[in-house]
Amino acid sequence: MQRYFLLLLSFCSLTMLAQPRIVAHRGYWRTEGSAQNSIASLQKAAEVGCWGSEFDVWLTADGVPVVFHDATIDGIRIEDTTFATLMNHQLQNGEFIPTLQQYLQAATKIPELRLIFEIKPHRNAKRDNKISEVSVELVERLGLADRTDYISFSKQACKRIHELAPKAQVAYLNGDLTPQEIKDMGLTGIDYSIGTFDKHPEWPLEAKKLGLEVNVWTVDGEEGLNRFATTPGIDIITTNDPNLAHLTQERRK
C-alpha cells in the first residue's frame, strides 16, 4: 500500500498538467447519420476532435477482413461465412458492412486521427494468427503503420502482432494480466475495463512505472469521465460520448 501511495504522489503533478486522450468507441456513432463501426463513425470521430477512433475486425471464412463488432450479423456467424454472403448486409445508417480495406482507405484521408484497431478473438490460435497477419500486411501496405495501435482480448493475437510489427503499440484488453506480465510479453500497454481498475486501482500507476500506456473503457457520463480524467496514470479514455468527454475537459481547464 505504501508503494502505491508513493507512485500516486509521483504522478499527481503530471496528471494535473495533461488531459487523457479521447478515443471514440466503435467510432462516433451516437449522432445522426452514423452507426457503430461504420465509415461515417470514423469520419465523425475526427470531426468532433477525437484523438483516436476504435474499430473491430473479423476474418470471414474466405479470408476477407471486415469491420464489425459482434461475432454474428443478422444471425450469420462471420467466421463461418464468405464475404459474398455478408457484403449486402447493412449497418443501421444504411452503409453496407465495410471490408477492412475500405475502412482503412477512408482512414488515409483523415491523417489527424489515430486508429485503434481491435482484433476480435477468433475460434483458435491459427485463426488469431491469420487475422493478425492479414491486418498488419494491409495496414503497412496502406501506409498507416505509424498511426495504428492494436488491441485485443486474445493473448495469441497480441503476441503475433508484436512479432509482426515489433515497433507497434499493442495493448491487451482482457484484464487478467498484471502490468508486469504485460511488460514481460513485450506489449506496450493495458487497455482495461472500468471494472478491472476498480478491482486493481494500483495498476495504472504500476503500468506507468513500467513504461506502459494505460487506456480505460468504456467510460460514459460526466461522473465517470471526470473520475478517470483525474485518475493518475490514465493516458486514454475510450468512450461512447466523445462530445461530452471534450466538454468535461474544457470545464476542468
CA atoms within a 13 Å half-sphere pointing along the CA-CB vector of 186: 13
pLDDT at 11: 47
CA distance 120 to 55: 10
pLDDT at 14: 43
| Alpha helices for 48-188 (secondary structure H) | 83-86, 100-107, 125-141, 155-164, 179-185
Please check whether residue 224 is in contact with residue 240, taking contact to mean a CB–CB distance below 8 angstroms: no
pLDDT at 252: 73
CA atoms within a 13 Å half-sphere pointing along the CA-CB vector of 122: 23
pLDDT at 6: 46
Domains in the chain with CATH codes: 20-252 (3.20.20.190)
Give strand pairing partners of 76: 73
* Ordered mean pLDDT values, 10 residues apiece, the chain (253 residues): 48 58 98 98 98 98 98 95 96 97 98 98 98 98 98 98 98 98 98 98 98 98 96 98 91 76
Q: Check the CA dihedral 30-35-36-41 and report its sign.
A: negative
pLDDT at 224: 97
**Residue 3 DSSP label:** H
Q: What is the DSSP string of 32-87?
A: TT--TT-HHHHHHHHHTT-SEEEEEEEE-TTS-EEE-SSSEETTEEGGGS-HHHHT
pLDDT at 2: 52
Q: State pTM to two decimals.
A: 0.92
